[in-house]
Amino acid sequence: MTTKGSRGHFVSLDPHPMAVSDEDSLRAVVDASGDHLVVDLFCGAGGLSLGLERAGGEVIVGIDHDEHAITTHRAHHKGLSESWDLYDSANVETIGRIVREHEVSIVCGGPPCQPFSRAGRGIIRSLVDRGVRGAVDQRRDLWQAFLEVVRVGRPAAVLMENVPDMAFDRGMVIIRSVIAELESWGYSVEAQILDASNYGVPQTRRRLFIIGLRDGVQPLWPEKSDRRTSLLDAIGDLPAFDGGWLHPGLDSDGGMSYGEASSAFQQLMREGCGSVVYDQVTRGVREDDRRAFASMEPGTKYSDLDDELKRYRDDIFQDKYNRLDPYAPSRTVTAHLSRDGYSYIHPIEDRTISVREAARIQSFPDAIRFHGPPTAAFKQIGNAVPVLLGEALGDAIFRALANPSPAEISVGGTTAMLADYFDARSSTEELSVGWLGAATTWQLSASIFLESEVNAKGQRIVWELLRRQPGPEDTLKMSDTLTRIGRQLGIDEQIDELLSIAERAMQGEDLSSIVSSRVWDLVCTMSPDEEETLLPTAAMIRVAARFFGVPIETVSAGTTGRLLVARLIGGISSDRESAHAARGLYEVASGICTSSRPACNVCPLSTHCGSRSVPDEMMLDLSAG
């Protein structure tokens, strides 16, 4: 049912015929379902639910706190679709019990994950101790609630999704905590960043996914598609209009007639529909905006427009307007579409994209409608997991469950392997990089500060001095010796700067504010005594890429590279083990798994290394970037 309003048609959706409203009624739904049951937490409008159902799953529970979104989910899925507060431990316990009692196959969802640091956690503990706030940290406990459902329910598989930037704080605390917790419960865990455009979705959309399979089963990942779907392939059959929530082309129910499909993707989206498409609406277009849109081609920046066509400052809003490229996948569709569509100007028509076009870009079939006004529909669509990506993930998970094979090694296993290797090397003082044996934060800071200034021989000479200087006061006492050595090595200016750093540290300045961010980031990565940080060197990323059989040219140092290293040096349950694993990885990168001649026969990781699956010419050196 739809009703007209000043903001367009309000879509009111009836519940699915097999929707239920209480736990007792759920039993009949489960009895009528197959083997692959799914519980979707933070389900939104149900993009992931739809994808998993296309792969053979059957969603019996969907939970979200957005009333419009959960009404949309309830309209398209049987079972319980409820707005339950997952801050409430009673609700978490109920969902966990449902998962356990009904032997649910997959618990999935995308809990919000706000980045935070060890310092932030310390402040929270202090506030709790003083009675200023409660013990629940609402930046954290939604992802912890997700894990608690898994702990109680023990599903066969776990699928967690999030925006990469939300989980990539300095210490990657959330990702590493999730992996560590799941592994402690017997799940084999892998994490990857996937781009939806590689799986038939007409959109470039990078998201982080974590897959965990119970009983040590090796996770599988979906195979990439051979062909990308362009925006024109996705929406080229939808009827043209000039914009507006209530434009003349709509019938009384808000529908429009459309012609024949011209691509396989369009045919897929139209399955089960007749000749009428709904939600082909968007905001009205101001005449000055229409003139600006008409002057734009894909790639035109807002700052490129003639001055008379600009309504905003072009030094701040250089990309305020963006016309989409018809022959490439769309840019990432986000919930911001509910506020304005200037970043999503139609590739041919002089208007912003419609609700239905946004849904197509997210691979929602045309039969799926969204409860509420058009702005609520845009928000639901922008927050969703693309349906076809969900289907690809579901296919991979169900294949792994149907033909299980044991995982070779856990993240905790590689952590212990690297930490043990480092401990064995350091106990015999055989480290190729001497400062890795540093016992204090000062020794680490001073050594890393000087590392790039001298050659290997010089580094050994400097370290022999610094190893006897646990604190800045000790360094100042040996200033004459350091100055003399600095002249001999040609680093007298750097030694003077190091002595200046030591003086400032003695005066009470925090080292993190004195040394460069490059030095401090590596110090924190290697030290169990400082804020949890995981910002590895290019050489460490190179080793991780080789270990996981990933061509280095596909690795981004800031995201995928850090993720690969996190999978090697593990969780945060033991700061010391994680720091020693990081030092072990640095030692391997420096002395064994070098860019040109890796000595695989003595590498502690060689037994499980996947580098043999990647051609040698793909193993490029990351040192330049």
Beta strands in 101-239 (DSSP E): 106-109, 157-162, 188-195, 206-213
Name the pLDDT band for 4 (thresholds 50, 70, 90): low
Residue with tokens 């190893």: 467
| Average pLDDT estimate for 116-140 | 45
pLDDT over 80 at 6, yes or no:
no
Number of domains in the chain: 1
Residue with tokens 């309000």: 10
Paired residues of 53 in beta bridges: none
Q: How far apart are CA 321 and CA 416, in angstroms?
A: 51
Name the pLDDT band for 247 (thresholds 50, 70, 90): very high
Q: What is the pLDDT of residues 176-188, one digit of tens each?
A: 889 999 999 999 9
Q: Strands 58-63 and 37-41: what pairing?
A: parallel
Q: How far apart are CA 375 and CA 377, in angstroms?
A: 5
> Using alpha carbons only, what angle is made at residue 415 by residues 410 and 420, rounded to the nearest 5 degrees?
125
Count other Cβ atoms within 10 Å, centred on residue 576: 11
The reply to whether 469 falls in a domain is: yes
pLDDT over 90 at 133, yes or no:
no
The reply to whether 272 falls in a domain is: no
Least confident piece of the model among 101-110, 441-450, 458-467: 458-467
Asked if 206 and 164 touch (Cβ cutoff 8 Å), the reply is: yes
Domain containing 505 equals: 411-618
In the set 113, 524, 603, 609, the catalytic residue is: 113
Q: How far apart are CA 482 and CA 465, in angstroms?
A: 8
The reply to whether 458 falls in a domain is: yes
The reply to whether 492 falls in a domain is: yes
pTM, full prediction = 0.90
Asked if 23 and 42 touch (Cβ cutoff 8 Å), the reply is: no
pLDDT over 80 at 166, yes or no:
no
Q: What is the pLDDT of residues 145-155, one digit of tens each?
A: 999 999 999 99
113: annotated active-site residue = yes
What's the N-to-C CA distance of the chain in angstroms? 56
Distance of CA 89 to the CA centre of its chain: 26
The reply to whether 539 falls in a domain is: yes
pLDDT over 60 at 115, yes or no:
no
The reply to whether 426 falls in a domain is: yes
Q: How far apart are CA 466 and CA 440, in angstroms?
A: 11
Asked if 538 and 625 touch (Cβ cutoff 8 Å), the reply is: yes
The reply to whether 157 falls in a domain is: no
Element (H, E) at 458: helix 456-466
The reply to whether 580 falls in a domain is: yes
Distances (CA, A) of 566 to 109, 157, 164, 345, 474: 21, 21, 14, 39, 35
